[in-house]
Amino acid sequence: MKITRISVWRMTLPLIETYALSGGRLTFEQLDTSFVRVDTDEGLSGWGEACPWGHTYLPAHGPGVRAGLEILAPALIGLDPRALDRVNRVMDVTLPGHLYVKSALDIACWDILGQASGLPLWKLLGGADANPVAVNSSIPTSTPEQMIALIRAASAKGYRTHSAKIGGADISADIARIEALSAALPANEKITFDVNRAWTPGVAVQVLNSVSARDWIEQPCETLEQCAHVAVRVRNPIMLDECLHGFQDHLNAWKLGAGEGVKVKPNRVGGLTKARQIRDFGVSVGWQMHIEDVGGSAMADTAAIHLASSTPDANRLASWLCHYHLAVDPVPGQGARNIDGFATPPSTPGLGVRPDETLLGEPCACYEVRQ
């Protein structure tokens, strides 16, 4: 089997409401996503999506995905898409780094492998069953009262884990948010206070040692080293997110003792092949992991849910579903959706999600078989 054509679509995904992170320092109104279809000479086609949330969130942006695909896609024409390690080696030689531009291609090849073998991705990734994955809410930065109201609304939809976005210049406001939300949260629900790298180490140590915070603190500072400095000086377990890009960062995080948990996001680390390596490392060192994607439609969410579902219970925390924040649905009703607080990966062969191409319009790029 050989790859004969790779087509790329760009789509704007408007958010239902403007989303504020990091104490309001970062705001988002729409996402720029790229869909990729990989066609083969045996009639099978695979789909993948790459959406780096917004361009201020990570050193990644939507146009960058498509610029990278311009370099990567021609190099994959003629390769067997089922040979995932080879596909990834060719991508890494053709364009070192730039992991986020590789994920859609990698996921599309996994989709083809699944269809060719008649197996869903959760099984190919090591799962025994299509385990339902708990989903977590995502609560934007606001006043304590408004954040508590949003948590209660999420609880009514079945969410039992919440990610509350905090962090900002006003230390007293963050202390008030942490105290109020921790006190208001029912005993059977969990919360992560996601700082989105807004604090300096001094502020992090000061805030976290003056509150009674429930559960986890996520990405308190900008860098891995700063988070490690904080981790040994506070009581709560630390979850790492934006400072982790490739496997080496995860290895360094472990060596530094920088946290007890990590976010594993296929788009950020280059797709399911590399995310699986990181997930397996995380299982080996005993981390607890949120496995979800950086952003995108239910297609990107579903790829991550396949990996989350195949992860041992003890190492798997909840997963966030980006598509619940979107005002559009390019894969209507398909894939992993929230049902009473849980998302279950499809059990059809492959990824189990195919967009309605009439909703995508014309491809913005097409890379064909080389003559």
* CB 188 to Mg ion: min, Å: 23
* CB 103 to Mg ion: min, Å: 18
Please identify, among the stretches 12-20, 51-59, 194-202, 304-312, the one whose residues bind Mg ion according to the rule CB under 5 A.
Answer: 194-202
Count other Cβ atoms within 10 Å, centred on residue 156: 8
User: Counting contacts by CB under 5 A, is residue 194 touching Mg ion?
Assistant: yes
The DSSP secondary-structure symbol of 98 reads -
Instruction: Quote helix, strand, coil % in the chain, to nearest 5.
Output: 40, 20, 40
Query: Which token pair is 237?
Result: 């377990």
Report d(CA 222, CA 227) in Å as an integer: 7
The DSSP secondary-structure symbol of 313 reads G
HSE toward the beta carbon, residue 157, CA cutoff 13 A: 18
Closer to Mg ion by Cβ: residue 21 or 84:
21
**Residue 265: active-site member:** yes
* CB 263 to Mg ion: min, Å: 6
* CB 184 to Mg ion: min, Å: 21
Closer to Mg ion by Cβ: residue 39 or 241:
241
**Residue 263: active-site member:** no
Closer to Mg ion by Cβ: residue 35 or 57:
57
* CB 194 to Mg ion: min, Å: 4
* CB 163 to Mg ion: min, Å: 7
State how far the alpha carbon of 215 is from the alpha carbons of 70, 135, 185, 320, 334, in Å.
43, 16, 11, 17, 33
Please identify, among the stretches 66-74, 225-233, 234-242, 245-253, the one whose residues bind Mg ion according to the rule CB under 5 A.
Answer: 234-242
- Gyration radius from the chain CA atoms: 20
Task: Write the interaction track for Mg ion spanning residues 143-182; mark x where CB under 5 A is met and - where it is not.
Answer: ----------------------------------------
Closer to Mg ion by Cβ: residue 167 or 346:
167
Please identify, among the stretches 45-53, 170-178, 191-199, 329-337, the one whose residues bind Mg ion according to the rule CB under 5 A.
Answer: 191-199
236-275 residues near Mg ion, rule: CB under 5 A: 241
- The footprint of Mg ion on this chain (CB under 5 A) covers a number of residues equal to 2
Short-list 289, 251, 244, 290, CA closest to 270: 244
Question: Which residue in the shown chain puts its C-beta closest to Mg ion?
Answer: 241
**Catalytic choice (102, 123, 165, 274):** 165
Report d(CA 190, CA 154) in Å as an integer: 12
Closer to Mg ion by Cβ: residue 111 or 194:
194
Closer to Mg ion by Cβ: residue 241 or 293:
241
Short-list 271, 24, 225, 278, CA closest to 143: 24
Question: End-to-end distance of the chain based on CA atoms, in angstroms?
Answer: 17
* CB 192 to Mg ion: min, Å: 8
Closer to Mg ion by Cβ: residue 7 or 161:
161
Report d(CA 90, CA 109) in Å as an integer: 13
275-294 residues near Mg ion, rule: CB under 5 A: none
**Catalytic choice (123, 263, 265, 274):** 265
Three-state secondary structure of 228-274: HHHHCCCCCCEEECCCCCCHHHHHHHHHHCCCCEEEECHHHHCCHHH
Which residues are tagged catalytic? 165, 265
Which residues here bind Mg ion, judged by CB under 5 A? 194, 241
